[in-house]
Each structure stands twice: as C-alpha cells, then as structure tokens.
Amino acid sequence: MIRAVDPLISLPATDPARAHRFYTEVLGLQPVMESHEQGFHIFRGPEAEVPMIGVHAHEGTLPSTEAQGVWCWLKVTRIEPVREKLRAAGVTILGEPTEMGPGRELRFLDSEGNVLRLYESMQEVRRSIDINAPANAVFRALTDPDIIERWFSTIDDVHLDPRVGGAISFIDPVFGAVTGEVTALETGRRIAFEFAENWPRSLEITLSPVANCTREGNCTRVEILQSGFDRIEDRDFGIPDLVSRLDEAVDTLQQVMLASE
C-alpha cells in the first residue's frame, strides 16, 4: 500500500518553456529540476525545500477556471503588494482576496491558464466591546486568575502574577500548556503579554472610558489585539477555533461584569 505522499504538485503546460519563465521570472521560484527536452520542470520557494510545484508538457486546452479542481497555494506575507507586482507583470487576477481557513487567499492564473492561489496567514485579531462597568472593575476581571477562568472558560489552570515581568500560564484545550510573561501594565488602563509557546506571540488589552455611556462614568471600552499567529502556524488547523473561543470569552466578560454588579 501507499507509504507516503510526494510533496509535489505538477500542473499542465501547453508551453513548458513559457511556464518555466513565468514560475522563475514572475513568481521568483527556484528551479529544482529542469528537463527542457521532456517539458517537465520542478520549482520550490526560496524559504522551504518542500512542498514543490512543477509543470509538465500538455497538449490541448485546459479546463475553464471554474472547472479546475486542483487547489494550489503559494504562501506570501501580505497579499496586496504581491498582487500589485503580478498585475504589473500582466498576470490575470481572479477577483478579490477572500477568507480561507486561518487566513486569506487570492486566485490568479499562471501563463498556461492554471489557477493558483496566494495565501496570507492570519496576522492579527482585533476585538472591541463596551462594558457597563468602571475600568478598575474590568481590569480586575482581566488580572484575577479566578475571574479569568469564569469569562475565558475554555482555558484552565490559570496563573498570573500581574506585574511587569510577572509570569502567566494556563492550559489551552487545543494547543496545550501556554507560558509567558507580562510585558506592560498600567493599572486600570492596559496590560500586555508575550507568550513563549503554544499560543499567538502577543496579546494586548487596553481600557478606555466611553463618553456616551448610559451609565455615565461607569462604562469601559475594552480593545483586544492578538498577534503573532506565525508562532502556531504549524498547527493552523486550530486557529479558527482559537479565534472563536476568544470571541466567546469577550462576550462572556460582559456577562460576568453585569452579574458582579
């Protein structure tokens, strides 16, 4: 039976020489194997040995873009600057970037009419919520381990020393044991964390008063910035669930603060 899956996708090319120029000169990929006689070439990205993409000689027309069933992603840091370079090179772009898993994708055509996809991993998540409670009470809910476990109920065994340089640790149900430290703290206004493993690298939470609150002087806007998702890129299957659990925790924080009045 099958022992392994070869990390190579080879796409049809009616003109392999033209395709070779496209993949090396336009996309900037590096040739791994070149057979101009057979019309078969293999390329890889500059930062990884595998997986690889190839082209092979093919006679006849390719299926329409809608009928093509092979999905092939080329990873980039940001889609927009790469899109502009492809447009400048005369590449056909198919639509706008769309959500795909824990990131975004943009479809385009290679020189032969094959659909390729730029893929941009998730860079950051921003959330904001107005809470009917004073900043000091909200800040306590963000820094007291017992209260944290009430509103961020999907993590367990929370330990937090709320001071700059203080340690934080907890168990994430998907990524396991998470450790880090407090990198910034302004009581009642801001707290930031840097995580060492098993979670996005950075989490920053800022608090500010809400001017048009129904309870004047007692409403707080909580803004959350989570970034550094490349830290868990090798387990990106779990990122959408992590973001979903963060959204759930933010909603629960509001409920916890209302119940504590």
Per-residue confidence (pLDDT) for residue 16, from 0 to 100: 96
Q: How confident is the model at residue 208 (pLDDT cuts 50, 70, 90)?
A: very high
Q: How confident is the model at residue 217 (pLDDT cuts 50, 70, 90)?
A: low
Mark 208-242 as b/e (b = at least 16 C-beta within 10 Å).
eebeeeeeeebbbbbebebbebebbeeebeebeeb
Q: How confident is the model at residue 249 (pLDDT cuts 50, 70, 90)?
A: very high
Tell me the C-alpha distance between 253 and 129, whole Å.
9
Q: How far is CA 62 from the centre of its chain?
A: 32
Q: Do residues 90 and 72 share a domain?
A: yes
* CATH code: domain of residue 193: 3.30.530.20
Please, which residues bridge with residue 119 across strands? 75, 105
Tell me the C-alpha distance between 51 and 39, whole Å.
20
Mark 148-184 as b/e (b = at least 16 C-beta within 10 Å).
bebbbebbeebebebeeebebbbebeebeebebbbee
Residue 3 located in a structural domain: no
Per-residue confidence (pLDDT) for residue 49, from 0 to 100: 76
Q: Do residues 71 and 161 share a domain?
A: no
At residue 231, does pLDDT exceed 70? yes
Q: How confident is the model at residue 212 (pLDDT cuts 50, 70, 90)?
A: low
Q: What is the pLDDT of residues 81-131, one digit of tens each?
A: 999 999 999 999 999 999 888 889 999 999 999 999 999 988 899 999 999
Q: Do residues 247 and 131 share a domain?
A: yes
The residue among 87, 121, 155 that closes a domain is: 121
Q: What is the pLDDT of residues 39-95, one digit of tens each?
A: 999 999 988 777 899 999 999 888 999 999 899 999 999 999 999 999 999 999 999
16, with CB counted inside 10 A (0-12, 13-18, 19+), is buried
Q: Do residues 106 and 32 share a domain?
A: yes
Q: Do residues 40 and 85 share a domain?
A: yes
**Average pLDDT over all residues of the chain:** 92
Using only C-alpha atoms, the chain has a radius of gyration, in whole angstroms, of: 24
Q: Do residues 133 and 107 share a domain?
A: no
Q: Do residues 26 and 140 share a domain?
A: no
Tell me the C-alpha distance between 221 and 205, whole Å.
10
Q: What is the pLDDT of residues 143-164, one digit of tens each?
A: 999 999 999 999 999 999 999 9
* CATH code: domain of residue 54: 3.10.180.10
Q: Do residues 185 and 89 share a domain?
A: no
The boundaries of the domain holding residue 69 are 8-121
Q: Do residues 219 and 155 share a domain?
A: yes
Residue 97 φ/ψ, nearest 5 degrees: -60, 140
Q: Do residues 160 and 230 share a domain?
A: yes
Q: Do residues 149 and 54 share a domain?
A: no
Instruction: Say how many domains are in the chain.
Output: 2
188, with CB counted inside 10 A (0-12, 13-18, 19+), is middle
Q: Residues for the chain: how many in total?
A: 261
Per-residue confidence (pLDDT) for residue 19, from 0 to 100: 97
The residue among 100, 121, 142 that closes a domain is: 121
Tell me the C-alpha distance between 112 and 91, whole Å.
11
Tell me the C-alpha distance between 162 and 191, whole Å.
9
Q: How confident is the model at residue 261 (pLDDT cuts 50, 70, 90)?
A: low
Q: Do residues 65 and 117 share a domain?
A: yes
